[in-house]
Amino acid sequence: FRSAYPDGADSLVILPEVFSKEPLGPAVLDGDTEWAQVVNWAILATIQAEEFGITSANVDSFLTSEDVTIQRFLGVEITTDEGSAVLDPGLGLPTDFAYQIVSQVGNYGEIFERHLSPLGLERGVNALWTDGGLMYAPPFR
């Protein structure tokens, strides 16, 4: 791609017009539903982390949070009156998969800022729903 544009990024422009408004996401091989679910859970984990205010810089401090929802999300084993509970999407992922993702690549906002903001692309509909965008994650249970 870069070799096709010898003048570099300065020769490219992101157009302000909206051509369509439809949910787009990563593509996986048709029939590989388990991989599709892993990819989906990974993306949702970055969105949920941003909703919680968890970043790659502060994720370790959240491991001792009093909030059981955050503990479960990060893979901290919690014991309740009903027994032990950890997040397990049933895909063979480690229970701390969300922690691993956020600690290594950041939350959705961090990823967007790192890769798309330098191109002049604003968050817009890619902002969290609480900030006027369309991004949200269902509960992690």
Q: Do the domain assignments include residue 68?
A: yes
Containing structural domain, residue 97: 31-131
> Quick one: pLDDT at residue 11?
75
- Indicate whether 92 belongs to any domain: yes
Mean pLDDT within 62-68? 93
Specify the DSSP element, H or E, that contains 84: strand 83-85
Q: How confident is the model at residue 58 (pLDDT cuts 50, 70, 90)?
A: very high
What average pLDDT does this structure show over 27-41? 92
Count up the domains in the chain and report the number: 1
> What distances in angstroms separate CA 65 from CA 3, 55, 109, 140, one per listed residue?
48, 14, 21, 16
CB 38 within 8 A of CB 90: no
85 has pLDDT over 70: no
Predicted confidence (pLDDT) per residue in 71-81, tens digit: 999 999 877 66
Rounded Cα gap, residues 8 and 4, in angstroms = 9
Residue 4 included in any domain = no
In a domain, 50, yes or no: yes
